[in-house]
Amino acid sequence: MPTRILIPSGVLCLGFDRAALARGVAAKPDLIAIDGGSTDSGPWSLGAGQSKYARSVTKSEWRELMLARAQAGVPLVIGTAGTCGADTCVDWMFDITCELATELGQSLRIARLYSNQPSPRITDALAQGRLRPLTPAPDINAEALGQMTNIVALAGAEQIQAALNTGADIIIAGRTTDTAIIAALPLMRGDHAGAAWHGAKIAECGALCSTNPTSGVIMVDFDADGFTVEPLADGATCTPHSVSAHMLYENSDPFILYEPGGHLDVTETKYTALDARRTRATGSKWVPGPYTVKLEGARAAGFQTTLLAVLRDAHYAANAQAWADKLHSFLDALIAKRMALPTNSYTLDFRLIGVNATLGAMENRIGSPTEVGVLLIITAQTQALASEIGKLANPHLLHYPLTESEELPTFAFPYSPAQSDRGALYEFALNHVLELDDPMSAFRLDVTEVTP
Amino acid sequence: MTQVRDIALKVRSKNAGPFWVTIDVFCGSSDAYTTLTTALKTDAIAALYHQPTQLLKRFDIPDLNVIKFSFPRPVIQGHRLDRDMHGAGWSTLLAELDI
């Protein structure tokens, strides 16, 4: 049965074109799906179990989507709620949804899909050989798994289908693959499996697959042979080139995409322009495989304090690396002497902005910067220690001379106090898949009736 | 000296998950594609990013006039020593490569 999915944007909080959304609702979609996050911004969200987006923006955009849902009379699904899709973020999104239900006077059935994995479950899977490393995978053992603050599994189509089968008006899903929230319904209704996954991949970033990437709203029609993608903003078009080129985006392999239960192969896909706006794709293949779900995990990896100084003096700007190396050795010796800390218990990392702060040792362009920003990032086992090292480094970062013979220099500090505590540092610590006999065995569904 | 960016329409890079980075060279025309597929040697790209050649995946895609390179991040995204959270700055090395 043909299935029409409306995708308001690539992620909630990125904004969307209101007129285009209204056009989408008027076109009678079968489901509205939006992504709520990814690992894109780094490990903090998963480590801390918090959204990186502002609650105010989340609520304001979600209000518009809840109104669109009420008008369309179809399910609204958000995947990877609250940036990382941890259980705490699902509940955060649920709270926002309940507030809005009251404000909007909506009676709703809300399904929450939880993706967090208790570490004993993963430890058991490791012992039973049901955990497989991907390339490259960090080393793991029971102790490392126990140290992770959040482990999530990426749900696929089956878990979203289970949520849809509850008859929910709104589904707030924890971590899912970007594609699953879009592919679930067409797969359930018997549309072409390769097209369901491929169309979902094309649309998951919203209008990024069109010639107007910031316009947001995209509609995909799935059927028995393929899918058709159409951007809904004025002036946006989906061309065979813009659509097929989207398979390059954030994919290490532009032809193969692994999902729970198999993989998508678009090597033989044919893209055709139906008219000036719409592109159709056929010939995408779904290749069934073992049922595995990918895991993501973050662990606490210390605490950070940063300091920033700016070298404007031409002599110092020209010799910034030598200066930073010398200061680094000096600070190591001072930390050993004053704080009795071994060098392997903390990290001092000098980033020379204007020299090689982005690329480090790979940088091959040598210029003569007007000034050099020196960002000192300190990582230690506690915030108190990182902060103490920051205070110890402060006067030297301000006055450290290149040679003993010169007058004491003073560099520019942009603010006071010079040190800023960054709080906990988290690191991604899993790149593995978990084998499951039953897709729902690692996920939990909770259904709530909400009345205003 | 001609650089890749003088011939290609666009060179971009981005993480492909926390453990990989991927670089897309949009050549813009079949002539530019032919020039760049010949000029860009896989060994030289691996050396540019301080990577062993065997870890570098290369895709020459004539339908899109695109050359794509992917390799594991030497420092995992967000590690204390990571310098570029999104991997978007890595493309500059390839864009500025002399050919």
**What is the number of structural domains in chain B?**
1
Among residues 367-406 of chain A, which lie with CB inside 8 Å of chain B? 377, 379
Tokens 């259980």 found at: A87
User: Would you call B14 and A249 a contact, using CB atoms and an 8 Å cutoff?
Assistant: yes
Closest approach of A357 to chain B, Cα-based (Å): 7
Q: How far apart are CA B11 and CA B16, in angstroms?
A: 16
Complex prediction ipTM: 0.96
Q: Which of A244, A252, A362 minimises the CB distance to B70?
A: A252
Choose from B83, B84, B96, B98 for mutation: most chain A CBs within 10 A: B83
Which residues on B lie below 8 Å from A253 (Cβ)?
57, 59, 70
Domain range for B68: 4-95
- A252 to chain B, any CB pair closer than 8 A? The answer is yes
Which residues on A lie below 8 Å from B59 (Cβ)?
253-255
Distinct helix (H) and strand (E) counts, chain B: 4, 4
Q: How far apart are CA A280 and CA A133, in angstroms?
A: 36
The pLDDT tens digits along chain A (452 residues) read 999 999 999 999 999 999 999 999 999 999 999 999 999 999 999 999 999 999 999 999 999 999 999 999 999 999 999 999 999 999 999 999 999 999 999 999 999 999 999 999 999 999 999 999 999 999 999 999 999 999 999 999 999 999 999 999 999 999 999 999 999 999 999 999 999 999 999 999 988 888 888 878 999 999 999 999 999 999 999 999 999 999 999 899 999 999 999 999 999 999 999 999 999 999 999 999 999 999 999 999 999 999 999 999 999 999 999 999 999 999 999 999 999 999 999 999 999 999 999 999 999 999 999 999 999 999 999 999 999 999 999 999 999 999 988 899 999 999 999 999 999 999 999 999 999 999 999 999 999 999 98
DSSP A407: P
Alpha-carbon distance values, B79 to A152, A219, A301, A323, A428 (Å):
19, 37, 9, 25, 8
Q: How far apart are CA A160 and CA A183, in angstroms?
A: 9
Q: Which of A129, A65, A267 is nearest to B63 (CA)?
A: A267
Percent helix, strand and coil across chain A, each to the nearest 5: 35, 30, 35
Tokens of A203: 């649309």
- A365 to chain B, any CB pair closer than 8 A? The answer is yes
Compute how many other C-beta atoms are within 10 angstroms of the C-beta atom of residue A375: 15
Phi, psi (rounded to 5 degrees) for A24: -65, -45
Tokens of A344: 């392997």
